Amino acid sequence: MSKRSQGLFVGKTRHLARHHKPSSLGINEIIKDIKVGENVAIVPKGNFKNIPHPRYKGRIGRVMEKRGAAYVVKLKMLNSTVQLIVPGIHLQKMGAPAIKKTA
């Protein structure tokens, strides 16, 4: 008998299903411009090779910087902060950034 594969998402892909065909992603989903400071939600889409870990699915964070075609997203989880490097295809804009008032 052959040994079972122990890949990154072995036995987990049914939890990531979006119930649509991957080819239905439009060009606007693939090429999007997100500005630094905007709030974004992490929504895994497309292929499973470059998606963030499933524990971050649905989390809302703030874009800190852009690195190539990806973005650095800062998340707050419990008492710590996490910085993730996420491709733009897996990010969804949530609204306007918070405005800091200066005295």
- Tens digit of pLDDT for each residue in 33-59? 899 999 999 988 776 678 888 889 899
pLDDT averaged over every residue in the chain:
81
Task: With H, G, I as helix, E, B as strand and everything else as coil, classify residue 22.
Answer: helix
Contact in structure between 84 and 61 (CB atoms under 8 Å): yes
The pLDDT of residue 47 is 66
Q: Which residues of 74-89 are buried (b: 16+ CB within 10 A; e: fewer)?
A: ebeeeeeeeebebbbb
Confidence of residue 12 (pLDDT cuts 50, 70, 90): low
Phi and psi at residue 55, to the nearest 5°: -65, -20
Domain spans of the chain, in order of start: 34-95
- Cα-to-chain-centroid distance, residue 56: 8
CA-CA distance, 90 to 53, in Å (whole number)? Answer: 11
Pick the CATH number of 34-95 from 2.40.110.10, 3.10.20.30, 3.40.50.300, 2.30.30.70: 2.30.30.70
